[in-house]
Structure 1
C-alpha cells in the first residue's frame, strides 16, 4: 500500500473548493456532449437573471440589461457639439442599450476630432455643415440627432431626410409651424422616421405620474400649475437672438410646461391667454422676452397655468390637481434628481407619499426609444406632429401676448402622439 494514501487529506480552502467544483462540472458537461446537443449560442438580448438572496420584505434586485452588442446597435450622428451634446447626449450613449455614436457634425473640426477620439468615432466620420449631406454615404449612421439652434432644425432635418437617414430633433421642433410641416413632409416623402426629443415623456417619474392619472388615482383633473425658470447671463448667446431661437424663454423652457400639460391631461387646449415681459433696459432681452405667463383652457374644464422665465433664479416645478388627490414633480423638467410625490386622503388622514422610483438617464431613454423604432419599424411616441402642435400653441401664445386677448385654437387633425414608449 502506498504510504501517501494513509496520510490525511489537507483541508480545501474556498478557492481550491471552487476550482475543484468547476473542474468537476466541466468534466461532467464534456462527458455528456456525446448524447446531448450543444446549447445554442447566447444572444445579446438574452437577459441574465440571478436568484434573489434577500427576503420578500426587501425590494428585489435588478440586473441591468439586456444590451445590444456594439455591432448591432443603431448608429447616431450628432449634429452640433454644444453644451447639450457634450454634457448630456454623448455621455448618455454609455448608458443606452441600443445606441452608439458613429459620426459627428460640427463647424469646429478640431473640437470635433477631439470628441471623436474620446468616443471611438472614425476621423472619416467627422463632418462640417457643408459636408453634412455626405452622411448619405455613411453606412454606420442610421439616425441623425439634430442639436442645433432652433432656426436650423428645419433645413438640417430636410437635408438629413433626403440623405435617407431617420431624424431625432431637439425641441422646440422649429421656429414656425410652416417649418414644422415642411419637416414632416420631407420625412414622409423620404420614408424615414421623425421624432422630437421630448425627454420628459420618457422619464420614469413622468411615466409613473401618467399611469396614476390614467388609473384614476387623482380623480377628475381640475388644474395644473408649473414653472420653469433660469437666469440667463451672456446676452450674446444664440438663445438671446430671435432669428436663431424664434423667441426667448417660451420656446426654450416654457415648452416643457406646455407639453407636460398636454401629455398629462391627454387633452388639447382650445384657448390660451398670455402675457410676456421684455425689459427695455436689459441687454439680454433686446430681441426676446424675459418671461411668459400662460393660462390654457381644455375642453373637460381642466385649466393649465404656467410661467417660464429667463431672468429668475432656477426653479422647476409642476403640480397637477384632481378631485381626489394632487401630485407634483420637483424639480420637474430637470436632467437629474426629479422626485414624484402625491397627497391623498386615506382613512381620514391626508397622507403625502413619495414613491421610490429608479432614476434613469432621460437622454439614453429617448435615444433607445428611437433606436427601437428604427429596428422594429415603429412610429416614435413623440413624432413630428407632437412638435407641430406645440409650435401652433406657442404661436397663439405670442399672438395673445401681442393683442392682449385670448386666442382660440382648433384641435389637431389627428393624434399627435403614438402609443406609449415600450422596450423589446
Structure 2
C-alpha cells in the first residue's frame, strides 16, 4: 500500500461510518488503480482522463499539429513609400485607423543639418526625425564641442558631419546635407540663412523668420539668388486640428465668421535667456508667442489685415523685462469685416487657445499652439437643443510633419506652403503693431484682396 492510500484510509477511518467507508472505498478502487499507473485522482471518486507524465509529453511532442503562420490579407502598392492597405477590421461607426506608416528608405530621404542645440532642437526637433517619413538627420552645428559630441553619439551622426559655427560654411562640401534647419536665436536667422544658401543648401528657418522685415527680405533674396528653397517652420499650419478649423471656417460650416479671439501666454522666467535680450530676440512676447495668434488668424481666414491697434505693457522693476516687452494686446481688422482680438504675455500662466465666433456657432481650440493635447469644441443650436460637441483628431508630430513637407517640396521641386514671403508678411504686421502701441493709435496696412497671397500650394499631408 502506498502512502497516498494510507492517508485516504486514515481520513475515512476518522470521518465516516463503516457502511459509508466501504461504499467510498469501492468507488475509489478504480481511481487508486489509475493513479498508481500515472493517471489523476480527483475528489468524490470521479476519474479524469489519464494525463501523460513529463517524459510521455516529451516523447509525444512531435505529434502536436504544426500551425502555419498566416499573414493578414493586404494590398501591397508598387511604390515603396506608399502605405500597405491591410484588411478592414473596424466597424463603420468607429473611428477608422489612419494609413499604415510608409517611410521612405533611409538612402532616399532628404538629409538635414540642424544648427543650434538648445531646448527646441533637443526636446522636439531631433526626436522628430525618428517619426519622419522623408527626412533624416545627417549633420549637427553647435558652439559647444561637448554637447555636439554627446548629441552626435546619441543620434548616430558621424564625427565628420559635426560642425562649429566657425566651420559652418564647410557644409557646402557635404553632399549628405540638402537642408539646413536654423534653430538659433531670432537675430541670427538671417546671417546663417544667407551663408547656408551661399553654401548651396535649402533653408528651413524657425519662426519668427528673423528680427525684422529687412532681415526677412534679405533671406528671401539670398535664397532666390542661390536658387534654393526657403521655408518658415510654421508648424501650426501643418497641424491637423488647426487645419480642420480652417476647413470649417472656409466652408462656412456655421455661417460667416465675425470675430476671432486668440491668446498665447507663458512664463519666461530666466532673465539671462536670449529671449530677454533684444539684440538676439528682436522683441519680447510678440515675435515669440504672439506670432502664433497673428499667423493663425491669417491662416484661418486667408485674409490680410488692413488695420492694427495695439497696447504694450511690462511690469515696472521686473528684471525679465528690462529690454523686451511682457504683454502685447492688439486688434486686427480684415477686409471682410472680421475683427481679431489677440494677446500675448510672457508673465502669465500658460494659456494657448483661440475661438472663432460665427453667425450660427463657434469653434474653440484649447492648447491650440501647444505641441500636443489640442482639444476642439464646436457649439451650435438646432431647434431647442444647444450642442457642444468635442472633436478628437489623431495627433501627429508637428515637427516631423513640417519637415516632411519641406522634404517633399525638395524631392518634387515644389514651392513650400509657408515660404519666406509668409514670414516677411508677419514681420510687416508686427512692426505695425509695435508702431501702434508706441503711438497710441491705429496703423493702416496695404489692402490685399487676394486669398492666401503669400502661401504656396496646399500641402499633401499624410
What is the TM-score of this pair, normalised by structure 2? 0.83
Structure 1 window deviating more from structure 2 (411-420 vs 318-327): it is 411-420
Structure 1 window deviating more from structure 2 (49-58 vs 272-281): it is 49-58
- 1:358 corresponds, among 362, 370, 394, to 394
Show the 5 A alignment for 1:118-267: 118-267=154-303
Q: Which runs of 5+ in 2 are unaligned?
A: 1-61
Give the Cα separation in 2 of the matches to 1:62 and 1:155.
41
In the alignment, which residue of structure 1 is the partner of 2:50? none
Q: Could you give the per-residue CA deviations for residues 29-52 of structure 1, whole angstroms, max 9, x where no partner exists?
A: xxxxxxxxxxx9964213212101
- The Cα shift of 1:279 comes to 2.5
Give the Cα separation in 2 of the matches to 1:179 and 1:196.
14
- The Cα shift of 1:315 comes to 0.8
Based on CA coordinates, which of the two structures has the bigger radius of gyration?
Answer: 2
Change (3 A) 1:12 1:43: farther
In the alignment, which residue of structure 2 is the partner of 1:18? 68
Give the Cα separation in 2 of the matches to 1:216 and 1:12.
65
Give the Cα separation in 2 of the matches to 1:201 and 1:60.
24
Q: Could you give the per-residue CA deviations for residues 47-85 of structure 1, whole angstroms, max 9, x where no partner exists?
A: 212101233333333353211011111101000000000
- 2:129 corresponds, among 88, 93, 99, to 93
- The Cα shift of 1:356 comes to 2.3
Contact 1:372 1:423 in 2 (8 A): no
Contact 1:75 1:141 in 2 (8 A): yes
Per the alignment, in what secondary structure is the counterpart of residue 224 of structure 2? helix
Q: Could you give the per-residue CA deviations for residues 367-422 of structure 1, whole angstroms, max 9, x where no partner exists?
A: 01000000000100000000000000000010011111110011469821112211
In the alignment, which residue of structure 1 is the partner of 2:24? none
Show the 5 A alignment for 1:19-418: 43-411=79-447, 415-418=453-456
Structure 1 window deviating more from structure 2 (354-363 vs 147-156): it is 354-363
Change (3 A) 1:188 1:105: same
In the alignment, which residue of structure 1 is the partner of 2:29? none
Runs (4+) of structure 1 exceeding 6 A deviation are: none
Structure 1 window deviating more from structure 2 (402-411 vs 40-49): it is 40-49
Change (3 A) 1:49 1:296: same
Give the Cα separation in 2 of the matches to 1:42 and 1:322.
46
Q: Which runs of 5+ in 1 are unaligned?
A: 1-9, 23-39
Give the Cα separation in 1 of the matches to 2:449 and 2:166.
37
Give the Cα separation in 2 of the matches to 1:99 and 1:115.
18
- The Cα shift of 1:12 comes to 5.2
Q: Could you give the per-residue CA deviations for residues 102-144 of structure 1, whole angstroms, max 9, x where no partner exists?
A: 0000000110111111111111000011111111111111110
Per the alignment, in what secondary structure is the counterpart of residue 127 of structure 2? helix
Relative contact order (alpha carbons < 8 A, sep ≥ 6): 1 or 2 greater? 1
Give the Cα separation in 2 of the matches to 1:413 and 1:160.
34
Give the Cα separation in 1 of the matches to 2:449 and 2:380.
37
Give the Cα separation in 1 of the matches to 2:260 and 2:94.
35
Q: Could you give the per-residue CA deviations for residues 320-346 of structure 1, whole angstroms, max 9, x where no partner exists?
A: 111111101101100111111111122
Contact 1:76 1:145 in 2 (8 A): yes
Contact 1:52 1:61 in 2 (8 A): no
